[in-house]
Amino acid sequence: MARPSRTFLKRRTFLRGVIAGGASVAVPLPRLASMLNDSGTAYADGKALPVRFGTWFFGNGIIPERWVPSSTGQGAAWTLSEQLAPLLAVKPWLNVVTGCTIKVPNNSPHASMPCAALTGAQTSGGGVTLPSVDQLVAKVNGTGAIFPTGLHVGISNTSGATALGLAISYAGPNAPNPPNYSPAGLFKNLVQFAATAGTPKPPDPELLNRKLVLDAVLADANALRARLGADDQQRLDQHLSGLSQLQQQIVAAEMPKATGTITDPDKAYPARGADGAISRQRSQAFADLLVFALASDLTRVFSFMFTCPACHGNYADCGLDATTFHEDYGHRLSPKGVTYATTGFNTGVRYAMSNLADLLGRMKATPDGAGTLLDNSCVYTTSCVSESQTHGGVDFPLLVAGKAGGKLRTDQHLRLLDENVSKVPYTLLTAMGSNATSFGMAEGQVSTGISGLLA
Amino acid sequence: MVVSYAKRAALILLAAFGSGACTGTVSGPRGGTSTGPSPSAGTTGASGGGTGAVSTTGGTGGSGSATGPSDLLGLPDGAEPLARLHKLTISELTNSLHDLLGTGAPVSAVEPDDVAAGFAAVGASTVAISPSGVGLYEDATGGATTFAFADATHAAAVLPCVPTGATDTACASRALAAFGRRAWRRPLTTAETTRFVNLAVAIAGAQGSSMLAGMRHAAWAILQSPSFLYRVELGAPSAADGGRLKYNDFEMASRLAGALWGSVPDDPLLDAAAAGKLSAAADVRAQATRMLADPRAHRALAAFVDDLYGRRELDEATKDMTMFPAWTTTLRDAMTEELERRIDDLVLTQKGDYLSLYESRATFVNNELAKYYGLPTQPIDSWRAATLPADSPRVGLLGAGAILAAYALPQRTSPTARGKFVNLALLCRTIPDPPPGVPPLPATSDASQTLRQKLEMHRAAASCASCHALMDPIGFGMETFDTAGQYRTQDNGHPIDATGMLGTSSFNGLAQLSSAIRAQPVAGPCLASKVYTFALGRAPTEHDAPALDALATSFSKNGNKVDALLTDLVSSDAFRFVTPDK
């Protein structure tokens, strides 16, 4: 401690190389103990810890009569339904909102409705018309994080035929954030920001090389942008955003490390199966990594696509036949009969909720400030249909977990008959600090939220 | 707590989904004349939502530039050109990296293709790369360049010269200019070449580094640049053509290499562009003829076949292993290769009538597939030509395992999915999405009926009948093949009824259905429009009708030969001029 180590000096030299001239911006850092006040409840300067936001999505809907809790109210007044039972451990953090309806016309089953629930607007040619709520939140709270537009993960990479594509997060039309299906890949991205045991390694000279390479790439991207029409400029802006984030990550990789524990999926979940197949272990591996990233403030936003709208993958992981969950169970077309299919479908929905519970449970178990990560987060959960057999948009599945840093009332079942589904994401958007005066478009547009959700 | 850090990119604060940009109407034709973007046939919504706010007088949303795209491109009154950045599809990226860096270059996973109008090539014209996707491109091009620059010998296969050291800037400049010209499909400007040479020298100068490492990083920068990852084809007003927006010679080289090779141009094509030899239709035709004789043409054709006939669907298809124990992933992949080889042979070797594919018994097999099809196996396994017996019920395109298994479910067939495929891919019909609130299939006693009988009950509901009437009867003609593509005579213990109607033609079974499809007047024009969509990377609009009619006519006159169709297409105005151009 007496004098700076050689490693420290090398790092300083490195940073001098990376940081050169021009306007200055803040380099994002993981949250470090030294940044917080003595009790660790807020930043040393008194600023509150950021509230995190996530979207958790499962395809193929529910059976409303087995999903909707039998009574409404708060706390002891209501109990979980059959399909929500796996969420028991996080019930005190849960809001179940039922009775809401998709007001956007159902032009395209499995596309119109998830678009409405995620963006408040109709689908456009198989994609979205407006950004998804997580990306609106990222504009409010993401700046300053190492991954400012969020981390986006997925379990099943099997598509849903003509449904909305394989993404539930969109920066805008034609700008999906396709999920990362590989826990090992996400681990590789995150571990560079995690503290490792033993002597700190000297700076990697390749980081500086990568930075120089990206400078040259940015020069080309900027020159090209000036020559393009508006649509293509928007596309290139997405690309520029990615280049700029990569640059920031290169610098951040040489900054002080996050002190939380990162879990290597290859060690903790060696039997998690191939990326893209449905597996609860892979879901748990992602949950561990997301919790690390959220707790360390590497990102404040995430999307978790358990299965995509109308996913045609199979739920063999929970004991169902290795057939198309969407057709054989969702639409009850199993050759083994309708009763068999209905029972299996119910098992599948409960299995999805168990996967959600794995994530929420980990958030609940992670200290954050004066409370837990789940206290300081808001996780919005929805699907692509309500009743899976008929592509229904009535009584749409909507869950909100977490207290959003005290902004949300929890442990409630709110039954809001025929309310516009858009009101839920809009309420959450404003709870996250957005001053948006409305959310969505046309039939999906709302300008008031759900007061019962707010603390 | 924070560190100041300079970075030009930070100044480019992004309004990728700015407030005003998404308020236009979403779909449907716009009223008035040329006040909005040309509707792109409702296929991708490419320019629908995002550009409604653009006007001739206003800015373009965040650029701060005084020049709107209409001015820049010489379009009248606010008309918005179709998107000009074609993001390389995964197959195009892979082919391009292999052509530039050697076929051994590894290409790690990038973001999945975005499919629109049935083709990744169409989605590529509208989709953006996500922020995390940019990192995947860094990894993929990083791995590929590491392979190609592993040592001087490797590098010599990639570059015209390999600099001996950081002072050998003459060679570095020549090498990077040549490499950059192929990767960016146009000559680099002097400033651009200098930028990459300086990058190479800077990296070579670090302790423990080398000029080879510097060159590798310069190549890495070239390949991470949007000028490589997107084909940039903007067009410019051509005085000789009445001011129409015409692709310049290098843009034509880019388009030709994209459409015919699924890759970057070679030096002869770029030399032709430099010599002004890609402006006239006859010159383009000559290059296209040369390019179709090149092995690289096989890859683009395979990408077309994969998209049109549903490789994605097949790759996602699972079969119940207890019911279909012979189904394996190697069999599935063999089915894909069978179809690619059949069509490749027909189009590029036999140069035959494409529609003969629908009834042909000529195919290609390896041992696993031969066994599956009941054909003889060989002592030493290899891909070879084979002919299905004259009395085999398996015939033509629809008899291919790849088609039968792709459009079916794990435990049973789907006449609806198979019929939908025929409608969309072979007959160019559109099938509306199912209406909301579709009643479930009636709960019948499962053992008593064939699937056909169940679906016919479903069709008894008026809300279902109109669409299913287009799909199911065609699919019934394929019911003699189970979901794994094997011949059968019974479904659920009952004899299969494979009769049906297509237009005014009645059929009984797959062979007659195939002949009926081939005999449809729309069969040839439909195939021509698919090739057109793939090659242009966008769904046709009303602007394209005359071009499509002309191509369909010449396709028919030429005996439905796809090589001739491609040559006609790429030398036509539709491929050489920007659409809409007025």
pLDDT class of B432 with cuts at 50, 70, 90: confident
Q: What is the pLDDT of residue B31?
A: 30
**Contacts with B2 from chain A: Cβ below 8 Å:** 26-27, 29
pLDDT class of B77 with cuts at 50, 70, 90: very low
The residue that leads in pLDDT, A261 or A283, is: A283
**Contacts with B192 from chain A: Cβ below 8 Å:** 220
**Contacts with B115 from chain A: Cβ below 8 Å:** 165
CA–CA distance, B9 with B12 (Å, rounded to integer): 5
- What pTM did the predictor assign? 0.88
Percent of chain A at pLDDT above 70? Answer: 93
- Among A16-25, A218-227, B137-146, B375-384, which stretch is predicted with the lowest mean pLDDT? A16-25
- Among A247-256, B15-24, B460-469, which stretch is predicted with the lowest mean pLDDT? B15-24
Contact at CB, A227 and B21, closer than 8 angstroms: no
Partner residue opposite B8 with nearest CB, options A218, A249, A324: A218
Question: What amino acid occupies position B111?
Answer: E
CA B86 to chain centre: 11
pLDDT, average across residues B422-443: 77
What are A25's two structure tokens? 């911006």
Q: Which residue has the tokens 């007496």?
A: A2
pLDDT, average across residues B95-113: 97
CA–CA distance, B258 with B537 (Å, rounded to integer): 10
CA–CA distance, A352 with B378 (Å, rounded to integer): 48
B80 has a pLDDT exceeding 60: no
The strand pairing partners of A446, in sequence order, are A439
Q: What is the pLDDT of residue B231?
A: 97
pLDDT, average across residues A113-132: 93
Partner residue opposite A228 with nearest CB, options B50, B85, B217: B85
Contact at CB, B318 and A27, closer than 8 angstroms: no
Distances (CA, A) of A348 to A61, A134, A295, A313, A391: 10, 26, 30, 12, 17
Distances (CA, A) of A202 to A152, A210, B63: 31, 16, 41
Under 8 Å CB pairs connecting chains A and B tally to 334
- The interaxial angle of helices B211-224 and A205-225, nearest 10 deg, is 40
pLDDT digits (tens, 9 = 90+) for B198-257: 999 999 998 889 999 999 999 999 999 999 999 999 999 999 999 899 999 999 999 999
Contact at CB, A239 and B443, closer than 8 angstroms: no
pLDDT digits (tens, 9 = 90+) for B335-357: 999 999 999 999 999 999 999 99
pLDDT class of A199 with cuts at 50, 70, 90: low
Which residue from A160, A168, A158 is spatially nearest to A304, judged by alpha carbons? A168
**Contacts with A18 from chain B: Cβ below 8 Å:** 5
Percent of chain B at pLDDT above 90? Answer: 72
CA–CA distance, B472 with B465 (Å, rounded to integer): 10
B143-165 exposure pattern, b = at least 16 Cβ within 10 A, e = fewer: bbbbbbbeeeebbeebbeebbee
CB distance B471 to B431 below 8 Å:
yes
Contact at CB, B80 and A391, closer than 8 angstroms: no
| Nearest residue on chain A to B115, alpha-carbon basis | A165
Interface residue of B11, B13, B22, B448 to substitute, partner A, most A CBs within 10 Å: B22
pLDDT, average across residues B351-375: 97
B444 has a pLDDT exceeding 60: no
- Among A20-24, A62-66, A414-418, which stretch is predicted with the lowest mean pLDDT? A20-24
Distances (CA, A) of A53 to A115, A363, A377, B388: 18, 12, 6, 59
Contact at CB, B49 and A129, closer than 8 angstroms: yes
B28 has a pLDDT exceeding 50: no
Partner residue opposite A333 with nearest CB, options B3, B206, B441: B441
Q: What is the DSSP letter of A130?
A: S
Please state the φ and ψ torsions of residue A305, each to the nearest 5 degrees: -95, 95
- Among A368-372, B121-125, B390-394, B539-543, which stretch is predicted with the lowest mean pLDDT? B539-543
Q: What is the DSSP letter of B16?
A: T
B65 has a pLDDT exceeding 80: no
CA A95 to chain centre: 18
Which residue from B445, B526, B539 is spatially nearest to B492, judged by alpha carbons? B445
A334 has a pLDDT exceeding 60: yes
pLDDT, average across residues B457-470: 78
Contact at CB, B84 and A232, closer than 8 angstroms: yes
B79 has a pLDDT exceeding 50: no
Question: What amino acid occupies position B258?
Answer: G
Q: What is the mean pLDDT of chain A?
A: 91
Interface residue of B134, B420, B464 to substitute, partner A, most A CBs within 10 Å: B134
